[in-house]
Chain A
Amino acid sequence: MRLRKIGAALLAAVMTCSLAACGGNSANSAGGNAAGSTAGGESGGSASREAASGQVDKVVFALNASSFDMSPFGAVSVPRFWMVQNVYASLFCTPYYGASLEELEPWLAKSCEKIDDLTYSVELYDYIKDSKGNDITAEDIVFSYDMMYSKGTETRIGTYLDNIEIVDDYNMIFHLKKYGPGVMEFLMGNYTLNICDKDWYESASDEEKCNDPAATGAYRIVDYVAGSSITLEAIDDYWQKDESLRCSADVQNVKTIQYTVITENSMRSIALENKEVDGAVIDASELGRFYDGANAQPGYSVDIEGGTYCNVVFLNMDSGKSPFADNENLRLAALYALDSESIMYGGDYDESTAEVCYSLGTSTMASYDDSWAEDYFNYDPEKAKEYYKASGYADGEVTIRLLSRTSIVDGIHSVMVANLEAAGFKVDLMAYDQALFNTYKSDSSQWDMILDNKGATGNIVTCWDNNFNPAGFENGSVCFTHDDTLVSLLTAATTTGSDEDVKAFHEYLKGMACAKGLFTSYNLMVGQDGILDLKVNANMMPRVNAFTFASDYQSCKK
């Protein structure tokens, strides 16, 4: 009896300690961000302080993935996209998401002149040198574009670019395969592009390419510990000496940028609270620790930027492979059954961390029309049931194979399944890892409905083009459509970008009832007190070198 009592007391003590430890942050966890804050660079906490006039010494920023390759033309990864423009320059710099060609800032290129729709002449500065002293000329530009395409760093180059003609060392002519909104913006200044010296690249060892590449950007790699950290240092004798000619990407507001890998969401927040890092990109579920719904918590700066990726469902349109393909009523039943807002909440998001989409694209994309929100398969369970009945199937007769990824929050799947079952469907959820998902998504015999994440650099027509241009698919499009009208409307929209053509494609796509944008999550970044402005690049990713610091800023790791 005595032993039981002691055992019970011990158990109670352990449980109390555990609960105390778990709940210990309640003071900081001011949740309830239902204030309806709009996405777009809300900062707080340190806004009234004076900005530093010169370069600050160091910033330690958390990276949320450990696997990346910073060699020239390295494989695609999220950390690479954050850092690539620190180390490698492109012809132009895109100052913000969706900027047009006229708004791009010259970087390696001095100018870009339109000759005709498919031809542009580009002139380089004649004094560009990389960090190892090599001259950068037109030949290096051609080499870099070829390498980016052939090594898969940027596959869209092949879609847009026919060839680059070298006029002389500093002048080139870009011959395009197609024109339209986003094409030249992509080729001149996309954040994934990187230029490096041909001779250096061909003579450097693999180790040198990864650990100490010849940098054309304003920073060079000084330390790289695989999977753990990477340290960049501002190049003292950076080739662009004239400060007035610097662009957003090559400012050197920080001497040393140390990116340190912290892959777990909650651990990044803990590292911020513990002052182990100066800044981090955080998960929506963590925002309450640093933001009260309207302002940043004392001691932090918070930046909320609009989403560039849309969570979208596609319905399989391959005839004979899915019940949706030849039954419009069934498709409408499924689309009206899905409650985008509930699905968003199911994913641990709310109005301050995400917003509902009303097209295949997000409201931050150029050419997006706010009026689309009025009628876009808006959730209507009764309508969904009616369409289901009209489809000719009995309740529970249709089983949807819903293809998704294991990385998606379970709550999203739960709400989707509940929505569809309420309309009369049965759902077979098939959540796979990214590799299997990628394999199965191009196979029309594997799924009826797919939940995917689709984005674009700047313009919504690019997003549509990426998903419905038959040139990019073996089987018609992302959801196996084979519709000539859709393709001709897409061609018109991507070529002219005019409001009429954009609207015509949107309406036609909606009429086909084969896709529905659900929601987009915002990009959330937190900095310590002392970082006054958290800048982002053209894809809403941190641009640490361009942060604005307070005059008394001190890095957490001196």
Chain B
Amino acid sequence: MARYIGKRLLQMIPILIVVAILIFSLMSFVPGDPVQIMLGDNATPEQIMETRASLGLDKPFISRLGSYLADLARLDFGKSYTQGTAVGAELMARFPKTLTLAFFSIIFTIVIGIPIGIQCAINANKLSDKVWMFLTMLGNSMPGFWLALLLVILFSVKLGWLPSSGDSGLNYFILPVIANSIGSLADIARQTRSSMLEVIRSDYVVTARSKGLSERDVIWKHALPNALIPIITVCGSRFGFMLGGTVIIESVFSIAGIGTYMVNGINSRDYPIVQGSIIYIAFIFAFIMLLTDLIYAYVDPRIKAQYISAGSKSKKRERGGIRKSYGKE
């Protein structure tokens, strides 16, 4: 298993290199001059040229790409043109806020969404199922910013229970978490329902019931674990997206997270910010996908067996290779 994890971690390196080259190239060729934005309307053409040279933007593309990749190898993401701060440090400073928002959002999504989906599957086509499915459809189609504003008006302005914006305490995250979760929650509830419906009708569930197991045991111990794989996939990708920064929720609630940082960088053509943020997102996404695969193995022994057998096969291949080379000698 450790071998499998190690292999997947190593696979991330070429992915990140490709992402770095792609984003660097895209940012270099996209129209919009960061220097003109930095210096404003009153800069003379000479000043613009001088600043461009001081930022190294006058060098050829290949030379800039080479030094960027070399810096990246030293985990140096460069300095923001507009803020003068190190991008890596800034990402690290903002990561806890994005992580808090994403972590509680996914927990909220799972804790509420999966039970709703199970209840809907158990009571398929009954009134409660239809009501929940209607509500999840509503949740899915509601724009996040609109829901966020409604929540603020209700819980902050009308009731005065929660702060309307900011990120200086856990209570500041309650409304953003709810606004951020509703769409995912609806998705996961629907996904759980459909997975469970498939499993509930299968033979082994009928067998479990016929053995006289309680309905609770049948659902939670026999049906749910077998229905979890597609649910985990959705949760994993949703969590990955959330960790990449939810721009609208961060903007509405003034949370200084990765999303707003990246959007500010894009608007001001601050190349180091955009490049650093994209590489961070690529890493986080690859890492979450690895985590998702490991959770697959945890909930489904068959998948775990596959990983282990894949590891031992490659071990055998290596051993075989060595024997062959001995044979050659």
A: residues with CB less than 8 A from B are: 3, 6-7, 10, 14, 18, 21-22, 24-25, 66-69, 71, 74-77, 150, 152, 155-156, 158-159, 206-207, 209-210, 225-229, 260-264, 266-267, 270-271, 273-274, 276, 433-436, 438-440, 442, 454, 466, 471-474
Contacts and interface: CB of A to CB of B under 8 A. Distances in A.
Contacts of B51: 152
Given A69-B84, A228-B166, A434-B268, 16 more contacts: A3-B127, A10-B134, A21-B150, A24-B153, A66-B254, A152-B43, A225-B168, A225-B256, A227-B257, A228-B254, A228-B255, A274-B160, A438-B37, A439-B33, A473-B45, A474-B45
B256 A261 contact: yes
A433 B252 CA distance: 20
Interface stretch (B61-69, B86-94, B216-224, B310-318): B86-94
A435 B149 contact: no
Nearest to B46: A158
Top 8 nearest A-B pairs by Cβ distance? Answer: A227-B256, A435-B32, A228-B256, A435-B269, A67-B264, A155-B43, A69-B83, A21-B153
Nearest to B150: A21
A169 to B, nearest CB: 30
A261 B261 CA distance: 13
B168 A433 contact: no
B186 interface: no
A158 B264 contact: no
Contacts of B160: 274
Given A7-B134, A155-B44, A159-B42, A260 B166 contact: yes
A10 B127 CA distance: 13
B157 A274 contact: yes
A24 B149 CA distance: 12
Contacts of A261: 254, 256
Interface in B17-69: 31-34, 36-45, 47, 50-51
B164 A66 contact: no
Given A228-B256, A266-B149, A271 B43 contact: no
Contacts of B163: 274, 276
B285 interface: no
B321 to A, nearest CB: 50
Contact of A226 (B79, B90, B149, B150): B90
10 contacts: A24-B153, A75-B84, A152-B39, A206-B84, A227-B260, A261-B256, A270-B164, A434-B268, A435-B269, A474-B45
B132 to A, nearest CB: 11
B50 to A, nearest CB: 8
Interface in B124-164: 127, 130-131, 134, 138, 149-150, 152-154, 156-158, 160, 163-164
A22 B37 contact: no
Nearest to B153: A21
Nearest to B151: A21
B33 A74 contact: no
A210 B32 contact: no
B194 interface: no
A76 B39 CA distance: 7
A263 B251 CA distance: 7
B36 A229 contact: no
B37 A267 contact: no
Interface of B: 31-34, 36-45, 47, 50-51, 79, 81-86, 89-90, 93-94, 97, 127, 130-131, 134, 138, 149-150, 152-154, 156-158, 160, 163-168, 251-257, 260-261, 264, 267-269
Contacts of B167: 228
A24 B94 CA distance: 35
A435 B84 contact: no
A155 to B, nearest CB: 4
A547 B97 CA distance: 33
Contacts of B252: 264, 267
Given A24-B153, A75-B84, A472 B256 contact: no
A438 B48 CA distance: 13
Contacts of A466: 41-42
B42 A24 contact: no
Contacts of A155: 39-40, 42-44, 47
B203 to A, nearest CB: 32
B185 to A, nearest CB: 16
Contacts of A262: 165-166, 254
B44 A66 contact: no
A227 B131 contact: no
Contacts of A436: 31-32
B254 A210 contact: no
Contacts, number: 167
Contacts of B32: 433, 435-436, 438-439
Contacts of B43: 152, 155, 472
A75 B153 CA distance: 36
A181 to B, nearest CB: 16
Nearest to B146: A18
Given A10-B131, A158-B47, A267 B164 contact: yes
A274 B130 CA distance: 39
A270 B156 contact: yes
B84 to A, nearest CB: 5
A228 B150 contact: no
Contact of A270 (B44, B93, B130, B157): B157
A273 to B, nearest CB: 6
Nearest to B264: A67
* Most central of A260, A264, A471 by chain B CB within 10 Å: A264
A159 B44 contact: yes
Contacts of A229: 166, 168
B82 A3 contact: no
A271 B166 CA distance: 10
A21 B83 CA distance: 39
Nearest to B51: A152
Nearest to B152: A270
Contacts of B264: 66-67
A69 B41 contact: no
Contacts of A434: 37, 267-268
Contact of A75 (B83, B94, B156): B83
B267 A152 contact: no
B99 to A, nearest CB: 15
A263 B249 CA distance: 12
A10 B135 CA distance: 9
B17 to A, nearest CB: 27
Nearest to A442: B36
A191 B9 CA distance: 52
Contacts of A435: 32-34, 36-37, 267-269
B158 A21 contact: yes
Contacts of A454: 41
Contact of A14 (B33, B79, B138): B138
Contacts of B256: 66, 225-228, 261
A27 to B, nearest CB: 12
A472 B85 contact: no
B213 to A, nearest CB: 33
Contacts of B50: 150
A226 to B, nearest CB: 5
B62 to A, nearest CB: 23
Contact of B82 (A21, A75, A260, A276): A75
B131 A69 contact: no
Nearest to B164: A270
A102 B271 CA distance: 44
B158 A226 contact: no
B33 A267 contact: no
